[in-house]
Amino acid sequence: MLNKLQQQIVSLVCNEDGASRADLARLTGMSKAAIGTIVKELLADGILQESDIPASGGQGRPSVTLSLAPDAAYAIGISFIDNQLVMVLANGKGEILLERNLIPASGIPPLVQQLANEIAAMLEQSAIDRQHLMGVGLALSAFIDASQSVCVQSALMGWHQVPLAELLSKATGGLPVVVENDTRALAIHEKTFGLLRKQDSAVVISHGSGIGSAAVIHGRIWRGAHGGAGEIAHCTIVPAGKPCRCGKRGCLDTIASLTAIFEQARMEGIDATSLSELEAMARKGHSAAVHILHQAGDALGMAIANQIHNNDPAAIMLAHQPEHFQGLLNTVMQQAIETNLLPGMAGKTPLIYRALEPNSWALAAASVAIIHVLFPEY
């Protein structure tokens, strides 16, 4: 376990995507001697590694740059998306070493045993010593308790009060297991290894079968007092609107999620199975397709505007399906964001688009397991 000063140095190295000792001294205000001592410990423990990076312009003496060592940590990440079980083994730089795509077993006990079996098989295949595995992370579209161990409720999975971390840890002989909301897991991954490294504050919005959000405030994930921060999908957009699977009515999820969009399309007699198909119909002037996309984009934009008002982040990341998010839905969403913002806040928050792949959630879950050990208070 890293001490506070070591955590601070490793966190800065991750955020800066590599940093020299001089950089660390400047960023922390600590003396070069103090930085040198901490770095020496982290190098000896195999947490950091050194590389020679030429000075700007390729001239002068190369500076020694520090980065997180790939073999400093390993973790297994697990996600459940659209009835697909995706598992990855990742290293300390957020790189995928092994991947498995499976159909999840039905029922909690069979599923836990399936996961335990697959974890053992992945460790055997990779030849990684079990002692070098920092833990297992699970990313779920769910409300997770503040201890990151219990799935309090998942409308998509139909789970209530499932002590998933305890069950899987027991089945794997005591491996550390952490459970996280999927969008929050993605935000942790992007803040540590991805596009949000340089952002002190940001909000991640995920758009797919469901909708999620997660806020990074002062470089840390905001979980709320009870672990429920970010439940944007179940914010009421239309009072007394359509019933939601959560038991409420008029939630954002019932209007703007892909599930809701395709359900509305079917009700209109439209046989579309992808957003691209629906966008193509809208471009040809299909009135029902235009209406569905306009309604969804307006609701999504209003929700994002509310996030900006609530958090005033440095950036908004929109994590979307692999399809291009550049059609009518996006246009209306952007218009709704600007329309619903106070004039003084309009146009100030950049929107970062992030295309999701089937393994994105599992990789994010692995990142959570690594961060949970390196930075326990994250």
Residue range(s) in the chain whose domain bears CATH number 3.30.420.40: 73-187+360-374, 198-355
Mean pLDDT of the chain: 88
Residue range(s) in the chain whose domain bears CATH number 1.10.10.10: 4-71
CATH H superfamily, domain 198-355: ATPase, nucleotide binding domain (3.30.420.40)
More confident call, 338 vs 325: 338
What is the rounded distance in angstroms from the CA atom of residue 150 to the CA atom of residue 153?
9
pLDDT at 2 over 80: no
What pTM does this model have?
Answer: 0.86
pLDDT at 58 over 60: no
- pLDDT score for 62: 60
- pLDDT score for 157: 75
- pLDDT score for 322: 81
What is the rounded average pLDDT of the residues 172-182? 92
More confident call, 329 vs 147: 329
- pLDDT score for 335: 96
**Residue 201 — very low, low, confident or very high, per pLDDT cuts 50/70/90?**
very high
More confident call, 190 vs 82: 190
- pLDDT score for 20: 86
What is the rounded average pLDDT of the residues 293-298? 96
4-71 topology per CATH: Arc Repressor Mutant, subunit A (1.10.10)
**Residue 365 — very low, low, confident or very high, per pLDDT cuts 50/70/90?**
very high
pLDDT at 54 over 90: no
- pLDDT score for 27: 87
What is the rounded average pLDDT of the residues 326-355? 94
**Residue 305 — very low, low, confident or very high, per pLDDT cuts 50/70/90?**
very high
Q: What is the CATH code for 73-187+360-374?
A: 3.30.420.40
User: What backbone phi and psi angles, to 5 degrees, belong to 312?
Assistant: 45, 55
- pLDDT score for 233: 87
Cα dihedral sign for 5, 10, 11, 17? positive
More confident call, 375 vs 293: 293
